[in-house]
Chains A and B, each alone.
Chain A
Amino acid sequence: MASLQLLGVEKSYKGGASIIKKLDLFVEDGEFVVLVGPSGCGKSTLLRMIAGLEEVTAGHILIGDKRTEGLPPSERGVAMVFQSYALYPHMTVAENMGFSLKMAGLPKPQVAQAVERAAEVLQITHLLQRKPKALSGGQRQRVAIGRAIVRQPSIFLFDEPLSNLDAALRAQMRLELAKLHKQLGTTMVYVTHDQTEAMTLGDRIVVLNGGHIEQTGRPMELYERPGNQFVAGFIGSPKMNFLPCRVQASSERGATVQIGSSPRPLQIPAPSGRVAGEPVCLGVRPEHVRLTTPDQGIPARVDIIEEMGDVAVAYLHVAGLERHLVVKTPSSAMGFYEGGQVGVAAELECCHLFNQQGVNLSLG
């Protein structure tokens, strides 16, 4: 086990494309950190730099107390699970798992013992003599993880390991990964674009955007107190509603804003000092919006309802707003129909105000 430090790490390619921009991050020993962000934000590149598969343009990466400049991937004490699993197709599961130990020159009985131990942890002992082509997606994933475990690394690196699995298997593997982290207690860095994986697996989430960190924090911290509009929009499903509006008045109790052409202004908790007429953006999560009768709240029309079983998602048209207002509500509480008129009320203490630079004003 080891901690991980990224100090002013940068990555750019010939021709000037800058992928990672002066990034600092500290991952504690035994911590499960999830790097999350949209496609092209540099999260996989960052992981590959930690693994030693990509060169660092500037800055330093420390694994434990060891600087990694010039260290080949195999000497960094990391193991990586690839998105494609990267299992050697011509080798059996046992050979795949024992390959690193074989390369290290360990005697065969010792390799077999280590493979057996890892297989028991992952419950794949019965698959050891099979070739990867004879395995299901979930089994391949387990073998890929097993190959990483056998190396007894200081840090596990996961590059979107569940993205090739179906929804049910993904949920199951998510659970198993969480159990594995508890069991091994090893530092894990996990890359995903799936915010459900990020929320459920990570001790801490690092939200990346355009090669820099937007925010780091515990999953619920990012959900409840997003630092900016990007993080607020990225964490949560369906994503947060952003309603452009203007400040009508500001006091110690918060800022009063008007939504669309609604005659009923809302008072959002925010530090005083906002200027009347200041353009802001109101952020409210779909699960923090309630549907009422048209005579209460902001009047709206139900355009589309998506039934999910336990919950329903309604897309509402509010006069004066360009985009739909999304509402997530328990199916049993829906009671409305497409084309019907409703009233919309928000849990004001859960709303956020963002300024034009996207900074969350509600945090003070």
Chain B
Amino acid sequence: MSAVMERRETPAAAPVKSRRRWLTRKTAPYVFISPFFILFAVFGLFPLLFTIYLSFHYWDPSTGLGGMKWVGFENFTFVLTDDWFHKSLYNTFWIALVSGVPQHLAAIPLAFFLHTRLSRWRNAVVGLYFLPFITSTVAISLVFTSLFSRDYGLINVLLTQMGQWEVAGLRPLGWVFPTENIDWNDPGYTKWVISFVVWWRYVGWNTVLYLSALQTIPKDLYEAASIDGASRRQQFWHITVPLLRPMMFLAITLSIIGNLQLFEEPFILTGGLGPGGTSIGGPDQAGKTAAMHMYATAYIESDFGTASAVAWLLFLIIAMMTWANNKAFKEKS
């Protein structure tokens, strides 16, 4: 009996001993946490540092690593004087403002309405508003592309029907609504269409953010305010809005970061790489954002050095705007 037991113990003891050589009590925590650091180093830190290195070089990846050529600050000076970069930056700020500001202006009252007026159906309605945020950008953009189609799009059908509505031989709404189909691909409309889609997509996300903040405001404060004589509107301005400031700061910061990196929606809505795969941003590049410009520089023009410089300049702009936003909210709070 004891001989059998001895035989069984011997092979079992051996792997424990060999495991202990490297997996000690001291090293085990580092080993277990290492997958994150390894993945972050490979896919996060290395590309980050590599783009800094690249931004001071001219590099066409088809020439291999040996094709890198040191150019100093030339990439940065080129980008800063490049008209296309200026235009893409202008487009980015235009879309960021036109889609971003109304996002918050709509989301705050909407969240207040959902919070104060809806109870039973609140989650269902919030879910509906949140749906665009979790839907594929490609699907959304394709749906809106067909909605904004010149000849068959629903938007044109609705607008022209209003414009062509006749009463006693007159078209009373003709001066407000179009009577002919609008070409939404016209450069004059591109940014408006992109802004509308971006606004529609993120208004639900911001509503959820503000709703979660509203739920943390104690009910007592509203009751105290109503005893103090504040109407519902005054409660909104004197209680809700000031107490939403921390969430406003977060939501606006996220909007700044998101809108200045805008890529998917304008890229798909303006037809991707365009005919021949050589242009980007639609006619007159009216919908070309800074992120799209970076992409085009890298993958159409094969100039990874300049693309890296664009990426870092964009980062600096985002960092400055976030700082300014922080400053604006901090001073008043």
Which residues from chain A sit less than 8 Å from chain B, CB to CB?
A: 51-53, 72-74, 78-80, 82, 84, 86, 88-90, 99-100, 103-104, 147, 151
The answer to whether the Cβ of B226 comes within 8 Å of any Cβ in the partner chain is yes
Q: How far is the CB of B329 from chain A (nearest CB, A)?
A: 13
The listed residue (B218, B223, B229) touching A103 by CB distance below 8 A is B229
Complex contact B239–A86 (CB within 8 A): no
**Can you list, as one digit per residue, whether each of B225-256 has a CB less than 8 Å from chain A (1) or not (0)?**
11111100010001100110100000000000
The smallest beta-carbon distance between B228 and chain A, in angstroms, is 4
Considering the complex of A and B, which 9 residue pairs feature the smallest CB-CB distances, nearest first?
A74-B229, A100-B228, A86-B220, A86-B224, A103-B229, A90-B242, A73-B227, A103-B230, A99-B228
B221 at the interface (CB under 8 A from A): yes
Question: Would you list 29 pairs from A and B whose C-beta atoms are within 8 A, ordered by A residue?
Answer: A51-B223, A51-B227, A52-B226, A52-B227, A53-B226, A72-B226, A73-B226, A74-B227, A74-B228, A74-B229, A74-B230, A79-B227, A80-B223, A80-B224, A84-B218, A84-B220, A86-B218, A86-B221, A86-B223, A88-B221, A88-B224, A88-B225, A90-B243, A90-B245, A99-B225, A99-B230, A100-B228, A103-B229, A151-B228
The chain A residue sitting closest to B245, CB to CB, is: A90
Instruction: Give chain A residues whose Cβ lies under 8 Å from the Cβ of B223.
Output: 51, 53, 73, 80, 82, 86
CA distance A80 to B220 in the complex (A): 11
> What is the minimal beta-carbon distance from A144 to any residue of chain B, in angstroms?
9
Q: Is the interface of B mostly helix, strand, loop or mixed?
A: helix
The verdict on A89 contacting B226 (CB below 8 Å), with A84-B218, A103-B234 known, is no
User: A88 contacts which of B234, B239, B245 (Cβ < 8 Å)?
Assistant: B239
The reply to whether A100 and B229 contact each other, CB–CB distance below 8 Å, is yes
* Size class of the contact patch on chain B: 10 to 19
| A82–B218 alpha-carbon span in the complex (Å) | 12
- Judge whether B224 and A82 touch: CB under 8 Å: yes
A51 to B220 Cα, complex, angstroms: 13
Q: Which residue of B lies closest to A75 (CB)?
A: B229
Please measure, in the bound complex, the distance between the C-alpha atom of A88 and the C-alpha atom of B222, giving whole angstroms.
Answer: 9
User: In the assembled complex, how far is the CB of residue A77 from the closest CB belonging to chain B, in whole angstroms?
Assistant: 11
Residues of A within 8 A of B221 (CB): 86, 88
Measured CB to CB, the closest approach of chain B to A70, in angstroms, equals: 14
Given contacts A86-B218, A103-B234, contact A80 B227 (CB under 8 A): yes
B224–A104 contact, CB under 8 A? no
| A284 to B317 alpha-carbon distance, docked (Å) | 80
